[in-house]
């Protein structure tokens, strides 16, 4: 594009008094932008009109020296054809720096240099950026959605999508819709005042599906193959049919934890009257509860137990409450006991707990140990610790004992190892867990033809979630959403909510694929990675490291990008040793040039320079907030926002150190099991890459202390100045970069 550049410097928010604008203007002009204007408040209607006037007159590339790029985004949006590059003079230069420093010959010199550097960097980025051209699929993008799984989540997802006007393919492996809902007698109370057990309303739901001409149902079918990408998924079913859809919702439910594994702890299998909550539900559905005179439910049967399911399934308490109420309904005189560790009743289920109590169900807190179940006189007896009585108590004359077992992800390959891993010898456990996880990942409902494997990547307990808190329903395969118990244990109410959420996300994904923009977290981003293929060495790093499996490969191992699967994280760009992957507005060269545009003072000036590569998702907002909260930090720091720590190419660190910068810090999200990375693996990968860099540093006779990775979360505002101060201290200890002035 022909760029017509202009720079606007804002004097509002105290910037006018804090900086020397004549000098700033000179710096921008030297950086090659002829038109530099100042304004007393750019975000005011007059300020915006001031810029708009120039845009109308032909300016299409704007450098804004004002506040953080995270604020006033509506004001400074001049349409998709105009590039706006923002230097955060307020949050990164003025707020965090002191007005003067002791011993400076000129007041505020450090602050002024800081602002000048930010303008230089932004000017370089602006010069190298282009307007992104949205990616268009070769074949017309589809708007339809496939829902796999015809249980409560699948049915509701299909209905939600159809109601939104979208064509739906609903695939169910059984011959009838319903899933586990079809096996349930009643639902626990779901509506205020949470006292009445409720109907499953399955028939009505199925009738609604059948009566909806937007929904095409394939029962008795599984998915044998899913090819393509959002907008163009080509699906083949076991029945031989095939179709194309735009996005997918996987709602394939759960598996009950195997009670056979509780033979030792809870005598399962020793007596027919020891059953699971699943069996109990069947009994209730068959109307077979009348004869129960006394029953005990044992909660956490294998749950929250390092030797079985280490997690809480969050449903079995409510299920037992419901089943206890069912017994009481059938026979109000029945003695009903619930022996628990903690009653966990998420959402409104606490009301269900009260109702069960009102009905006279007796609750006994057992502590960690399992109760002992034995047979006596043709009935069952239980001996259990009663924590509140600090005693051991007995319950005898029991007709039935119900084990409240938990939920496992619906993947037949999920065996105990990934779940028990924690209780065993750690090294051995890790190995078993890794093997088991690999087995899980190799099995799939969707049978994706993806370079990275057929299944949705899973987390610790083999659930295919990706970012539990921020992006529910998201899997690590763009355009494929998980709804209901396939992603975590949950009860029917939650699965229905999930279904709606996932259906809407799926529709959004089809729109994004059609419009050529990203789904979250860079929602609306039109840029996408472009590969300068003639220089590709087929090293496979990009295809392997892309957290979203966006890149397939051909027979010769050439990367085949699928831009509609791409989330625009830039991890591939960070991975590529040939540096041939770039975005229109984000590239290795761009950031490298920004780093090189920083003015590095001579060694004897004793003004070190440190570059901090900041992840825009959590670290950058934390810095902005810290600045606004009045925290101050060293003026020798230069922040450069990056899309993800995973997008950092090692060459930038080399660029920085060879231009005399004294230290480089990477500021990003937490990694590991409780990762906060918005692109899942980004900060993890950055860490791996950084651990390899110390070798290179040694070769350059540079101390590896000069490079550091720090993890921070959105709310850890107070940590920002602390981390910076610590790093500056280290840099002072290591001394100036020997490459200064080369």
Partner 1 sequence: MVMATKAYDKSFREEVYKNVDSGEDVKLCMQCGVCGITCPLRDKMTHGPRQIWSLIRAGKRDEVMDSPDIMLCTSCYTCKVRCPRGVKVIDIMHGLAHYALEQGIVPRAETAKFGKVFWDSIYKTGRVDETEVPMRYTLTAGPIHGLFNTLEMMDIGRALLSHKRMKFKLGPGIPPSKKIKGIKGLKKMLDKAQAMSPGKEG
Binding site for partner 1 (CB under 8 A): 335, 337, 343, 353-354, 357-358, 360-365, 386, 388-389, 391-396
Nearer to partner 1, 356 or 619 (CB): 356
> Nearest approach, Cβ of 282 to ligand SF4 (angstroms)?
19
Dihedral sign from CA coordinates of 49, 54, 56, 59:
negative
539 binds, among ligand SF4, partner 1, none (CB under 5 to 8 A by kind): ligand SF4
C-alpha distances (whole Å) from 56 to each of 46, 63, 391 are 15, 16, 83
- Rounded-to-integer distance, Cα 43 and Cα 166, Å: 40
Helix (H, G, I), strand (E, B) or coil at 68: coil
Q: Which is nearer to ligand SF4, 537 or 722 (CB)?
A: 537
The item of ligand SF4, partner 1, none sharing an interface with residue 559, based on CB under 5 to 8 Å by kind, is ligand SF4
Q: What is the DSSP letter of 152?
A: H
Please identify, using beta-carbon distances, which residue of 558 and 704 lies nearer to ligand SF4. Answer: 558
Q: What angle do CA 121, 709, 612 make, to 5 degrees?
A: 15
Site residues (vs ligand SF4, CB under 6 A)? 299-300, 303-304, 312-317, 342, 344, 404, 406, 529, 531, 536-542, 546, 548, 550-551, 559, 561, 566-572, 575-576, 578, 580-581
> Minimum distance from CB of 505 to ligand SF4 (Å)?
17
Query: Residue 83 or 343: which CB sits closer to partner 1?
Result: 343
Q: How far is CA 622 from CA 114, 205, 318, 670, 716, in A?
A: 19, 46, 39, 13, 7
What are the structure tokens assigned to 599, written together? 């003015």
Question: What does 386 bind: ligand SF4, partner 1, none (CB cut-off 5 to 8 Å by kind)?
Answer: partner 1
**Residue 280 binding target from ligand SF4, partner 1, none, CB below 5 to 8 Å by type:** none
Nearer Cβ to ligand SF4 (301/380): 301
Binder of residue 358, out of partner 1, ligand SF4, none (CB less than 5 to 8 A by kind): partner 1
Q: Choosing among partner 1, ligand SF4, none, which partner's interface includes residue 337 (Cβ < 5 to 8 Å by kind)?
A: partner 1
571 binds, among ligand SF4, partner 1, none (CB under 5 to 8 A by kind): ligand SF4
CB of 423 to ligand SF4, least distance (A): 16
Residue 326 CB, shortest distance to ligand SF4, in Å, is 17
The partner in contact with residue 335, picked from partner 1, ligand SF4, none with C-beta cut-offs of 5 to 8 angstroms by kind, is partner 1
CA–CA distance, 604 with 283 (Å, rounded to integer): 85
Least distance from ligand SF4 to the Cβ atom of residue 353, Å:
11
Q: Where are the beta strands (DSSP E) in 335-452?
A: 335-340, 362-365, 372-376, 379-386, 391-398, 400-403, 407-409
Residue number with CB closer to ligand SF4 (88 or 318): 318
Question: Which residue, 340, 373, 398, is CA-closest to 267?
Answer: 373
Nearest distance, CB of residue 365 and partner 1, angstroms: 6
Contact 500, 252 (CB under 8 A): no
Exposure on the CB side of residue 531, measured as CA atoms within 13 A: 21
φ, ψ of residue 644 to 5 degrees: the values are: -170, 150
**Closest CB 361 distance from partner 1, rounded Å:** 8
Closest to partner 1 by CB, 140 vs 389, is 389
Structure tokens at 371: 């109760």
Partner whose footprint covers residue 24, from partner 1, ligand SF4, none (CB < 5 to 8 Å by kind)? none
From the list ligand SF4, partner 1, none, which binds 546 (C-beta under 5 to 8 Å, kind-based)? ligand SF4
Q: How many CB atoms lie within 10 A of CB 17?
A: 9
Write down the least CB distance from residue 691 to ligand SF4, Å: 19
> Residue 480 binds which entry of partner 1, ligand SF4, none, with Cβ cut-offs from 5 to 8 Å by kind?
none
Burial (CB count <10 Å: 0-12, 13-18, 19+), residue 73: exposed
- Which string of DSSP letters, residue by residue, matches 512-565? HHHHT---TTSTT-----EE-GGG-----HHHHH-TT--EEE-TT--EEE-GGG
Shortest spacing between CB 540 and ligand SF4, in angstroms: 5
**CA pair distance 1, 201, nearest whole angstrom:** 59
Rank residues 360 and 577 by Cβ distance to partner 1 and give the closer one: 360
Distance, in Å, from the CA atom of 47 to the CA atom of 251, rounded to the nearest integer, reads 50
Give the one entry of partner 1, ligand SF4, none that residue 304 binds, where binding means its C-beta sits below a cut-off of 5 to 8 angstroms depending on kind: ligand SF4
Cα 230 to chain center, whole Å? 19
**Which CB sits closer to ligand SF4, 557 or 725?**
557
Say if residues 439 and 413 touch (Cβ distance below 8 Å).
Answer: yes
Sign of the CA dihedral with 53 first, then 59, 64, and 65 last: negative
Residue (198 or 386) nearer to partner 1, CB:
386
Closest alpha carbon to 134 in 521, 515, 585: 515
Which strands, in side-by-side order, build the sheet including 61-66? Answer: 36-39, 5-10, 61-66, 83-88
User: For 40-65, what is the HEC assignment?
Assistant: CCCCCHHHHHHHHHHHHCCCCEEEEE
Q: How far is the C-alpha of 404 from the C-alpha of 410, rounded, in Å? A: 18
In angstroms, give the least distance from the CB of 381 to partner 1: 8
Identify the three-state secondary structure at position 363. Answer: strand
Nearer CB in complex with ligand SF4: 407/614: 407
Signed CA dihedral, 267, 271, 274, 280: sign only:
positive
DSSP per-residue codes, 192-205: TT--S-B---HHHH
Residue 669 interacts, among ligand SF4, partner 1, none and using kind-specific CB cut-offs from 5 to 8 Å, with none
Binding-site partner at residue 362 among ligand SF4, partner 1, none, CB < 5 to 8 Å by type = partner 1
Nearer to partner 1, 29 or 386 (CB): 386
Cβ closer to ligand SF4: 300 or 335?
300
* Least spacing, CB of residue 517 vs ligand SF4, in Å: 13
- Report, in Å, the least distance between residue 478 CB and ligand SF4: 8
Closer CB to ligand SF4, residue 169 or residue 353? 353
Minimum gap (Å) between residue 393 Cβ and partner 1:
5
Structure tokens, 648: 């950092």
Beta carbon of residue 405, minimum distance to ligand SF4 (angstroms, whole number):
8
Of 386 and 497, nearer to partner 1 (C-beta) is 386
Q: Shortest gap between Cβ of 3 and ligand SF4 (angstroms)?
A: 25
Beta strands in 212-251 (DSSP E): 215-219, 223-229, 232-237, 242-245, 247-250
């Amino acid at each position: 594009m022909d760029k017509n550049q202009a720079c606007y410097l804002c004097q509002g928010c105290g910037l006018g008094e804090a900086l020397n604008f004549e000098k700033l203007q000179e710096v921008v002009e030297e950086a090659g932008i002829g038109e530099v204007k100042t304004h007393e408040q750019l975000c005011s209607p007059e300020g915006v009109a001031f810029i708009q006037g120039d845009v109308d007159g032909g300016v299409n590339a704007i450098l804004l020296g004002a506040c953080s790029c995270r604020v006033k985004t509506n004001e400074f949006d001049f349409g998709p054809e105009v590039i706006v590059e923002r230097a955060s003079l307020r949050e990164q230069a003025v707020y965090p720096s002191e007005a003067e420093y002791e011993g400076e010959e000129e007041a505020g010199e450090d602050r002024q240099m800081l602002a000048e550097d930010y303008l230089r960097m932004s000017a370089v980025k602006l010069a190298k950026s282009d307007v992104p051209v949205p990616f268009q699929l070769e074949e017309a993008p589809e708007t339809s959605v496939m829902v796999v799984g015809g249980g409560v989540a699948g049915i509701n997802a299909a209905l939600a999508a159809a109601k939104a006007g979208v064509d739906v393919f609903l695939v169910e492996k059984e011959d009838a819709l319903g899933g586990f809902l079809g096996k349930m007698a009643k639902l626990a109370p779901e509506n205020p005042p949470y006292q009445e057990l409720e109907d499953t309303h399955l028939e009505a739901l199925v009738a609604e599906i059948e009566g909806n001409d937007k929904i095409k149902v394939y029962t008795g079918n599984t998915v044998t193959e899913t090819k393509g990408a959002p907008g163009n998924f080509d699906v083949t079913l076991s029945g031989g049919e095939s179709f194309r859809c735009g996005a997918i919702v996987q709602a394939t439910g759960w598996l009950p934890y195997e009670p056979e594994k509780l033979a030792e702890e809870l005598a399962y299998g020793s007596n027919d009257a020891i059953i699971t909550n699943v069996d109990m539900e069947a009994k209730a559905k068959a109307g077979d509860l009348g004869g129960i005179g006394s029953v005990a439910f044992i909660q956490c049967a294998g749950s929250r137990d390092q030797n079985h399911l280490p997690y809480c399934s969050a449903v079995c308490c409510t299920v037992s409450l419901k089943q206890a109420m069912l017994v009481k309904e059938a026979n109000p005189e029945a003695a009903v006991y619930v022996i628990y560790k903690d009653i966990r009743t998420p959402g409104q289920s606490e009301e269900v707990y009260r109702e069960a109590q009102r009905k006279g169900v007796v609750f006994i807190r057992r502590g960690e140990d399992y109760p002992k179940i034995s047979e006596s006189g043709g009935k069952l007896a239980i001996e259990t610790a009663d924590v509140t009585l600090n005693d051991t108590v007995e319950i005898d004359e029991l007709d039935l004992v119900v084990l409240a077992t938990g939920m496992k992800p619906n993947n037949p390959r999920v065996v105990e190892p990934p779940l028990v891993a924690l209780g065993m010898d750690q090294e051995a456990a890790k190995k078993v867990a890794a093997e088991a996880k690999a087995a899980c990942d190799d099995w799939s409902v969707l049978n994706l033809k993806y370079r990275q494997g057929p299944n949705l990547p899973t987390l610790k307990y083999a659930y295919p979630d990706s970012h539990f808190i921020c992006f529910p329903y998201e899997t690590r395969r763009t355009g494929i959403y998980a709804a209901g118990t396939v992603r975590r244990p949950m009860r029917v109410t939650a699965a229905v909510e999930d279904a709606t959420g996932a259906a809407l996300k799926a529709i959004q994904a089809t729109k994004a694929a059609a419009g050529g923009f990203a789904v979250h977290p860079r929602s609306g981003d039109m840029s996408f990675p472009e590969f300068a293929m003639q220089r590709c060495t087929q090293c496979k790093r990009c295809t392997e490291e892309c957290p979203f499996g966006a890149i397939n490969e051909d027979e010769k191992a050439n990367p085949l990008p699928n831009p509609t699967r791409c989330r625009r994280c830039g991890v591939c760009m960070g991975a590529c040793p040939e540096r041939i992957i770039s975005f229109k507005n984000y590239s290795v060269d761009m950031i490298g040039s920004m780093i090189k545009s920083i003015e590095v003072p001579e060694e004897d000036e004793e003004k070190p320079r440190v570059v901090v590569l900041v992840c825009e998702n959590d670290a950058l907002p934390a810095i902005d907030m810290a600045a606004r909260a009045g925290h101050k930090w060293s003026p020798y720091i230069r922040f450069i926002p990056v899309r993800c720590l995973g997008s950092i190419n090692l060459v930038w660190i080399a660029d920085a150190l060879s231009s005399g910068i004294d230290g480089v810090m990477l500021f990003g999200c937490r990694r590991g099991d409780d990762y906060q990375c918005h692109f899942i693996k980004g900060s993890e990968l950055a860490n791996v890459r950084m651990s390899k860099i110390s070798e290179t540093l040694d070769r350059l006779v540079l101390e590896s202390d000069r490079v550091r990775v720090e993890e921070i979360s959105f709310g850890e505002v107070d940590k920002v100045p602390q981390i910076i101060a610590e790093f500056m201290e280290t840099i002072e200890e290591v001394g100036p970069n020997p490459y200064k002035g080369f």
